[in-house]
């Protein structure tokens, strides 16, 4: 399927994919922030981690990505931040086809996505405040804009009082909230969280989930990979289930029962 080479069609003839991705003008409510169309990812060793994946995520959605270890959840997320390129198919973030954007525009598209990992990935010698500020410093944000931005995201995640602590002085939940603040500081459209509660006990996991729900209510689209069947089932959000690289289920208000 050719997305950009074709002459622009009259608006009425625009495909659903074009409308969803903003290639053709679409009413805002119909816009999708994430589109994967017929995506296959084969790693250099021949492993097909994703096979013919189709996924459309409208702005403001909260999506759980579930499935056993090795199903392809992390690979899908790596495609969204252009850490990896699709072998086949199209990945579109907020209207930008990731395989076709010029290299110089990659950082700008990446900043639309905040990412949160299972193991937090904080800089150990920097304080909470500095960890969050660093994300802005590396993108050349002027000093005067950094302070208010960092202060406000630390307030959102409830860490104003711990701003000067080092990661080693924090609980696991506080470390993950620091990572969420860092993900938020660029004012992203999407937060991708790859098993963000994987290292946390159940009570703290719920705190992190509540925080992600609150951020979602602020209008940020959330895509969260998890093994936590209890959390997924309790919240009745959209559930996309991967197995062996394929989407085997995509349901609204769904439950999740692990079979592994």
Ligand X SMILES: Nc1ncnc2c1ncn2[C@@H]1O[C@H](COP(=O)(O)OP(=O)(O)O)[C@@H](O)[C@H]1O
- Which residues would be at the binding site for ligand X (CB under 6 A)? 43, 45, 47, 49, 67, 69-75
49 binds, among Mg ion, ligand X, none (CB under 5 to 8 A by kind): ligand X
Complex with Mg ion: residue 73 or 177, whichever CB lies closer: 73
Instruction: Report the nearest approach of Mg ion to the CB of residue 76 (Å).
Output: 9
22 binds, among ligand X, Mg ion, none (CB under 5 to 8 A by kind): none
Complex with ligand X: residue 67 or 167, whichever CB lies closer: 67
Instruction: Report the nearest approach of ligand X to the CB of residue 74 (Å).
Output: 3
Complex with ligand X: residue 29 or 260, whichever CB lies closer: 260
167 binds, among Mg ion, ligand X, none (CB under 5 to 8 A by kind): none
47 binds, among Mg ion, ligand X, none (CB under 5 to 8 A by kind): ligand X
Complex with Mg ion: residue 66 or 128, whichever CB lies closer: 66
198 binds, among ligand X, Mg ion, none (CB under 5 to 8 A by kind): none
Site of interaction with Mg ion (CB under 5 A): 73-74
The β-bridge partners of 115 are 192
Complex with ligand X: residue 77 or 133, whichever CB lies closer: 77
Instruction: Report the nearest approach of ligand X to the CB of residue 224 (Å).
Output: 12
Contacts of 254 (CB under 8 A, 6+ apart): 232, 236, 237, 238, 239
Instruction: Report the nearest approach of ligand X to the CB of residue 45 (Å).
Output: 5
């Amino acid at each position: 399927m050719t997305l950009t080479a074709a002459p622009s069609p009259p608006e009425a003839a625009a495909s659903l994919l074009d409308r969803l991705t903003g290639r053709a003008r679409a009413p805002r409510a119909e816009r999708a922030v994430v589109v994967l169309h017929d995506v296959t990812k084969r790693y250099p060793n021949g492993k097909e981690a994703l096979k013919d994946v189709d996924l459309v995520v409208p702005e403001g959605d909260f999506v759980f990505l579930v499935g056993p270890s090795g199903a392809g959840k992390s690979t899908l997320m790596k495609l969204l931040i252009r850490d990896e390129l699709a072998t086949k198919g199209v990945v579109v973030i907020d209207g930008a086809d990731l395989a076709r954007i010029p290299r110089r525009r990659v950082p700008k598209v990446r900043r639309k996505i905040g990412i949160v990992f299972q193991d937090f990935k904080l800089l150990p010698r920097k304080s909470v405040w500095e960890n969050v500020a660093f994300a802005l410093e590396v993108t050349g944000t002027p000093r005067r804009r950094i302070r208010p931005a960092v202060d406000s995201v630390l307030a959102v995640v409830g860490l104003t009082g711990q701003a000067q602590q080092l990661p080693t002085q924090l609980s696991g939940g506080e470390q993950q909230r620091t990572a969420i603040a860092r993900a938020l500081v660029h004012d992203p459209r999407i937060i991708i969280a790859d098993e963000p509660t994987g290292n946390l006990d159940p009570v703290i996991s719920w705190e992190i989930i509540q925080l992600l729900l609150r951020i979602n209510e602020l209008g940020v689209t959330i895509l969260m990979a998890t093994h936590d069947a209890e959390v997924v089932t309790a919240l009745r959000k959209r559930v996309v289930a991967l197995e062996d690289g394929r989407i085997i289920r995509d349901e609204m208000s769904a439950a999740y029962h692990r079979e592994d």
